[in-house]
Structure formats: C-alpha cells, structure tokens
Amino acid sequence: MKKNLRRSMELVVLTLVFAVLVIFCSVLTVKSREHLSAAEQEAYYRELEDKLVSDTRKYLEIHGIHNSGIMLTRVLEDDGSRDYTMTIHHRDIENMTGEQQMVLCGELQTLVFESENCSFRHKFSFD
C-alpha cells in the first residue's frame, strides 16, 4: 500500500516538474524572438511567408486547382503587428458556389502560421 502511494506521489511530482519545464521552454522561445534585430525578425517572417505560399500552392494543386496565381501582401502596422491578405487568382474558383468558396477559404485558413501579432484574410480574384 505504501509502495503504491509512494509511486503515485513520484508520478505527480514528475508530472509537475515536466509541466514547469515545458512552460519555461515556451516562455524562452517567445522571449528569444523579442530580442531579434529588425533584420533577423524580417528574415524570420519572410521564411514563414514563403512557406505559407508554398503550402497554399501545394494544397490547391492536390485539390485540382492547378497553376494558381498566389499573391501574399502584408501591411506592417506602427505597433509591429502584421496584417496579411492572400489573393488567389484562378478561374475554377469563380465557377464554385459561394458556399464552396467559403469552405475553401476556411481550409486555407488552417495553413496560416501562428503568431500573436499577425492577422490573415483570404480573397479570390477572377480577372
């Protein structure tokens, strides 16, 4: 009985230590990005942006929307936040119903990168 109680306590302590370690590492990761120079931060976001465009192109190809024009624009606000608009040009999207376009937009939203100071929207162009 004492052995089971002791093992349970050891498991609880180990779990708490692990949880604290995970939180500590997460905080360090966020703080480390705050100390990047402007050039390093720009390179960091450029890499994320390039990956987003590439992932979007692959997603569209897999779903039969080939040779799409994809344009990612960003507005950098005074407070450092970034507002992104991804415009996708493809005639097949024009032939979709409004509901199908909304579903596609929702699926594309799952591809965006997570950053607390970024917002994203998608729009379609048929010109």
Of the options 3.30.300.20, 3.90.1170.50, 3.10.20.740, 3.30.540.10, the CATH number for the domain spanning 37-125: 3.30.300.20
Output the pLDDT for position 65: 92
What is the token pair recorded at 14?
């180990």
pLDDT at 28: 57
Mean of per-residue pLDDT scores for the chain: 84
Q: What is the pTM of this model?
A: 0.68
Domain ranges of the chain: 1-35, 37-125
For position 21, what pLDDT does the model report? 60
**pLDDT < 70 stretches in the chain:** 1-35, 127
CA-based nearest residue to 86, from 61, 116, 111: 111
Question: What is the per-residue pLDDT for 93?
Answer: 92
**CB-based contact 33:44 (threshold 8 Å):** yes
- pLDDT at residue 104, rounded to an integer: 95
